[in-house]
Every structure is written in C-alpha cells, then in structure tokens.
Chain A
Amino acid sequence: MYRAHVLICGGTGCTSSGSVAIQETLAKQLKEKDLEDEVKIVQTGCFGLCALGPVMIVYPEGTFYSRVTPEDVEEIVEEHLLKGRIVERLVYSDTDEENATETSLNDTTFYKKQKRVALRNCGVINPEVIDEYIGEGGYQALGKVLTEMTPDEVIKTILDSGLRGRGGGGFPTGLKWKLAAGNQADQKYVCCNADEGDPGAFMDRSVLEGDPHVVLEAMAIAGYAIGASQGYIYVRAEYPIAVHRLKIAIKQAREYGLLGKNIFDTGFDFDIDIRLGAGAFVCGEETALMTSIEGNRGEPRPRPPYPAVKGLFGKPTILNNVETYANIPQIILNGADWFASMGTEKSKGTKVFALGGKINNTGLVEVPMGTTLREVVEEIGGGIPNGKKFKAAQTGGPSGGCIPAEHLDIPIDYDNLISIGSMMGSGGLIVMDEDNCMVDIAKFFLEFTVDESCGKCTPCRVGTRRLLEILEKITSGKGTLEDIDRLEELAAYIKANSLCGLGQTAPNPVLSTLRYFRDEYEAHVVDKKCPAGVCKDLLQYTIIEDKCKGCSACSRKCPVGAISGEIKSPFVIDQTKCIKCGACIETCKFGAIEKK
C-alpha cells in the first residue's frame, strides 16, 4: 500500500521537455532513500498545462510542480516525500505571485473554470494499466449497455444527450448511429478518426495518450448499438506515444476479454485494430480515411452514398472522432439528461481546446459549451504575454476562420461560431496579438492546404494554388484592389465546387480575415504597408538621425553590410542591400532604428 502517488506527465509535450529523465531520476532517488514501497510513480497522460512542462503532481496533497528538472528531484524526494515539506519554489501558481497560496492544481484559475468530461482521466490514471481505468469506473458503461440496454436504447440515450461530432462538423452522433443501425448488412464497421491534422491541434492525441481505454470502450458500445463486430482506429503515425499506448490498451482489453468474442458472456463479439496514417491531411476526411483503411491511396469519394449506407469495404460504417468517443461512456453511466444539462441550447456538453499561439498558458483545456472566448483566453489561458493586445483567435485550423476582439464575448458553440464566419473545428485555438499580420496568417493556412490538397478535383487542386498566388502578390506589395475582389470570387467558387471538406473549407481563412480585417488587406495593396510589420517586402528599416550616436554596433552586426557611416555621426541603411532581418534593431542600445 502506497502512502503517496507521484504523477508524472508522459504526454508528448512533457516527454519532449524531459519528463522521462525525471521519472528515471525519481525512481533512482526513491530506491536510494528506501521509499520504493511507500511512494508510487505513475506515468499519466497530459494534464493540459503543456507550457509549464515537465509537470508532476504529488498526491494525497495534490501539489502541482511545474518545470521540474532532474536536479530538482532530489529536493522533492528529500523535502516533500520524506519530510512533508512542499518545495514552494517549484509549485505552480497563478500570475498573482504575492497572494498565490494554492498548492493544489484544482484551485488554479487554469483549472477552476474547466469541466473535464472527455479528459476526466487524463493526468489522473496511468494509461498503460487497465486496472486504473477500471478503478475509475472504466468498462462499467460497456457492461451496462450489454446487460441492461437494447441497441435502440443506447442510440436513444446518445440522441437525447445532444452529443454532436467533436471532429469539427458537429453532426449529431446519435443520428449517425441510428442511420447505420437502420441499414441491414452481414458486416458493419465502427471507425475512429484519430487523424488529427490541424496545425496546432492536439486534443485527440492527448486523449489517446492519457486515456486510451475510453476510446476502446466507446467503440465497443457503438459496435453494440449499430450491430458491428469490428472496429478500426485510424491514427497518424506521427503520434508514436499514442500508438504505443493504444496497442498496450488493446492487448490488455483482449486479455481481460473486454474485446474479442462473447464479451461479458452476452454473446456480443467486438474487436479493434489500428491502422496507421502516413500523415496526409486529407485522410482526416471521412471518405478518404476509409479509402486509406482499405489499402488504397487516401482520396475522398463523392457523397452520397454516406458511410452509414456504404462505407468501409462497401458496408455500413460509422466514423466518430476520438473526443466524441471519449464522451460516450460518461453519457451511458450518468444519463442523457446529465450531459444535456451542460452547454447551450443546440450544443451540449463540453469541448476540448488546444490553446496555442500568443497566450500564456499554452495547453489543453476543456470547458462547457457556451463559455465565452474571453474566459478561455483571458482567464483560463492567462492572457497574452508581454502586455500585447488581443487581435484575433483562429479556430478550426485551415478549415476555420478567425474571431476578432469584437466577438470575444460570444458564447462558444457550433452555431455561434458559424454565424460569425468561423467554425468549431476539431478544437485548435490559436491566439494572435497585434504583431500578427492577418494577410500573412491567411497565406500560412493556404500554403498548408495547397500542400495537402490530394489533387483529385480541380477546384481544390488548382483553385487553392491560385488563391495562394494572389495572397503572395498582396504580401509582396504588388497587389491591386481588383486582386481582393478576385480573392473573394475565387474563394466562393472553390467552396461551392470542391469534392470534399478539405477544398470546401480551404478558402475560409481568407474569407474570414477579409471579413474582419479588410483594412489590413487594403493597407497592403493601397499604402503598400504591412500594419503589423510582418510582411518583409513592405517593411523598411531606417536609422533615426537624432537618436543615432554613431557607435557602429549595428553596422558590425549587419550580415550583409548594408549599414555604413562614420563613427560618432549618424549611420545610414542602404535599402537596396537590406534583407530586413531585424538584427540591427536588436543590437541598437539607443532605439535609433525604426521598422515601418
């Protein structure tokens, strides 16, 4: 029996910041101090505060240590684990250092406003030990479904809960299941879309890494509901930790008989296999994903027929996203009403967001639907670093749009986001401040979709390329006002005529930045200026004569020798040579160089 548990984050974020070395050092220290039988080390999934990694929580106190280094470990063992004295200097506290007294993670602003349903076990259990999942109520929902409920009752519960697809589209999950259940076939399939491809999004990865069994359990429940006996998880090969833990989870579930033949002696058979994706963004699109599972090149196919009618290998199939599945067992156990009590009228439950960009608490948060963007950014996210001003938040990745400051108080749900020209997307939330150029952002996402377009249909293959070329023309200062009109016209055409979701949504970053930041586009075109100072071709570095002391520091730093002058008299930048690297600004001690 252990008297303390030390939880160390083994998510991708903390692993890359060195949590493995910490775990090894801790194990060694515990052995040296003869505490091995008293203190248990638990490797968990993501806690959410990736910016503060590697993170460690010590129970029963619930002390949250952040940015731990291997050198700190001895002190933690010696002071905290042995003598019960919390190592204050490593305890994470909110921005208010003076009054920060909370040592438990749950008391911090970051966690207080969160409601963890899909992430409930992430950072709590060891994902590689099935018993810990069971200890937290795991596989109870599967047991309940198989022994107490009919497939129709399961579908009705999911329908009544109001759960909508968390992958981005927001299609009612229960309806998807109902359609697939209604189609008769000798074989049906349950698929899990874990091909998370949006830049900056890592919600699904964290669930798979932190709580893989919840996905297996939910897929088995789905299998029972629609009458399928085989499931596939399509996961990116770029998620090695997630794949590793999924494999362990599937093996353990099979050993326990929770996957396989005759589960719980009810005659229900269900098994799951993993299929690795090779990293094509388009394979996150449901028909392309199924084509890829079948062993073919990942290209979308026209719908209808929808997967519920003719999906994988031509059989009725349901495909849900990882986060959607992560909600299912809780809905079964707590009931549809419990789930429907959270959220807004048309969007129930919670949503996980991956916070990134210009924000203090980079990481993973789960909030009830209807929480405002302001709460997420300013309170949970801890605001914008360096006192900069919020400019916009980008949701939905390359398929989504941006939300400007004027809409910060809008409650986040599927319909509200669409009404302001963005979308929920899978949950990536990238915060931008005044130093971000919106035309440049649109260009960034277009570069991504041009690279990732599969090439099957012309509007997407050729259209996105042309869109990008116009954006490049604008950011290089060669654009005209007609180009802006052409952008809009072409965007509308691509949206209307592309075969799959990738092309249909690819112009969204352009359209939404145009909608809210048209003045920035016009500044690039008319004034030939980039207001945020990002687009290099529109910038000029000049030396302010009055402030220059003639010290020559900048000219010595300039990599292309563009700065010249005589000592003790003002220097000059040769604009024909300047490559706008900004090295001179960083070097000047007198603030004599300006960027415009």
Chain B
Amino acid sequence: MKSLAELAAIREKMKNSVAMRDGASGIRVVVGMATCGIAAGARPVLNTLVEGVAKEGLSEKVTVTQTGCIGICQYEPVVEVYEEGKDKVTYVKMDVDKAKEVVEQHLKGGKVVTKYTIGK
C-alpha cells in the first residue's frame, strides 16, 4: 500500500461489514422467518434485502434482521419496516423482485411501496 487513498478504499469496502456490529441503526427491516415464512420463500427475500442494502450503501442506516412468526401466515413472506417516529410498514406476500423494489423505493427513496403493503 503506497497511499492513504488505498487505505480509505479498504475502509470503505469493510464499512458495510463492520457497521453491522455497531448495533441497531435507524431503520430496522424485519423478515418473518418462522416455518411458515421459510416455506413461503422468505430466505431469498431476506438475502435480497441484505444484498440490496449493501449495494446501495445503506448499511449504516438500515439493519436487516429476521424474526419469528407474527401470526399472518397466509400473507408470508412478510417484511416489516420500522423507523423511528414513523408508523410501521408491513409488506406481505413478498418475493425477490418486490424486495428489490422496496430497497430501491422505500429504503433508499423513502417512499412506501403501497401496492405491496397489507390491506391494499
């Protein structure tokens, strides 16, 4: 390594990784990963969200984690977004493509993707 720029590059690359260990951050995205969720395909959804958040450089702002069954098994995979000072948003019947949209529009853009939320 010959320059500070190279050091900064490594730091940037590692930031996404180590930021996770600083504890929960602003926005919390929770994926239902009980038996029902997994059976309905929650794992690829979860992984898509994790990758999307990292790719968009949102790791310091957004934490993606999984949770158990929240009781609406027929709507799985369920993804809920918690944000300080805002109402909880519940997305239902998610898949990989919908997850990508949520990352793009909601987590990055700040606009709730109402067509996938519960009740719509």
List residues of A whose CB falls within 8 A of some B CB. 1-5, 7, 38, 40, 59-62, 82-85, 104, 106, 124-125, 131-132, 134-137, 139-140, 143, 147, 256-258, 264-265
Q: Could you tell me the distance between the alpha carbons of A124 and B11 in the complex, rounded to whole angstroms?
A: 15
- Chain B residue at smallest Cβ distance from A124: B21
The complex places the Cα of A79 from the Cα of B27 at a distance, in Å, of: 24
Contact of A140 among B11, B65, B67, B68 (CB under 8 A): B11
- Chain A residues near B30 (CB, 8 Å)? 84
CB distance from B27 to the nearest CB of A (A): 12
Taking a contact as CB atoms under 8 Å apart, the answer to whether B20 and A59 are in contact is yes
B79 at the interface (CB under 8 A from A): no
Query: CA A233 – CA B3 in complex, angstroms?
Result: 26
B47 x A3 contact (CB < 8 A): yes
Of all chain B residues, which has the CB nearest A3? B50
Say yes or no: is B117 at the interface (Cβ < 8 Å to chain A). Answer: no
Closest 7 CB pairs of A and B: A135-B14, A84-B66, A3-B50, A135-B18, A84-B67, A85-B68, A257-B1
- Please measure, in the bound complex, the distance between the C-alpha atom of A402 and the C-alpha atom of B46, giving whole angstroms: 55
Cβ–Cβ contact B63 & A83, under 8 A: no
B1's partner among A84, A104, A140, A256 (CB-CB below 8 A) is A256
Which residues on B are within 8 Å of A, measured CB to CB? 1-4, 7, 10-11, 13-18, 20-21, 23-24, 30-35, 37-38, 43, 46-47, 50-51, 54, 63-68
Contact check: which of B2, B34, B50 meets A83 at CB < 8 Å? B34
Q: Is the CB of B18 within 8 A of A104?
A: no
B11 touches A143 (CB 8 A): no
- Excluding A5-B17, A125-B18, 7 further A-B contacts by CB distance (< 8 Å) are A62-B23, A82-B38, A83-B38, A83-B68, A131-B10, A135-B13, A264-B2
| CB within 8 Å for A1 and B10 given contacts A82-B33, A258-B1 | no
A137 / chain B contacts, CB cutoff of 8 Å: 11
A143 touches B51 (CB 8 A): no
Determine whether the beta carbon of A257 is less than 8 Å from that of B2: yes
Query: In whole angstroms, what is the CA distance A38 to B43 when docked?
Result: 10
Min CB–CB distance A86 → chain B (angstroms): 9
A135: contacting residue among B17, B64, B66, CB under 8 A: B17
User: Does A5 contact B21, Cβ atoms closer than 8 Å?
Assistant: yes
Assembly CA distance A139 to B1 (angstroms): 12
Q: Please give, as numbers and ranges, the residues of chain B lying within 8 Å of A2 by CB-CB distance.
A: 17, 50
Residue contact B24 to A135, C-beta cutoff 8 Å: no
Cα–Cα distance between A258 and B7 once the two chains are bound (Å)? 10
A59 to B10, CA, bound (A): 22
B14 and A140 contact, CB distance less than 8 A: no
In the bound complex, residues from chain A placing their C-beta under 8 Å from that of B51 are 1
B10 x A84 contact (CB < 8 A): no
Contact A143 B68 (CB under 8 A): no
Task: Please report the C-alpha to C-alpha distance between residue A60 and residue B50 in the assembled complex, in whole angstroms.
Answer: 11
Provide 16 A-B residue pairs closer than 8 Å at the C-beta atoms, listed in order of the A residue: A3-B47, A38-B47, A38-B50, A60-B63, A62-B21, A83-B37, A125-B18, A131-B13, A132-B18, A134-B10, A135-B10, A135-B14, A135-B18, A139-B7, A256-B1, A257-B2
Q: Are A134 and B64 within 8 A (Cβ)? A: no
A104's contact among B7, B20, B23, B32, by CB below 8 Å, is which? B23
Could you tell me the distance between the alpha carbons of A269 and B105 in the complex, rounded to whole angstroms? Answer: 50
Across the interface, name the chain B residue whose C-beta is closest to A138: B11
B7 contacts A140, C-beta separation under 8 Å = yes
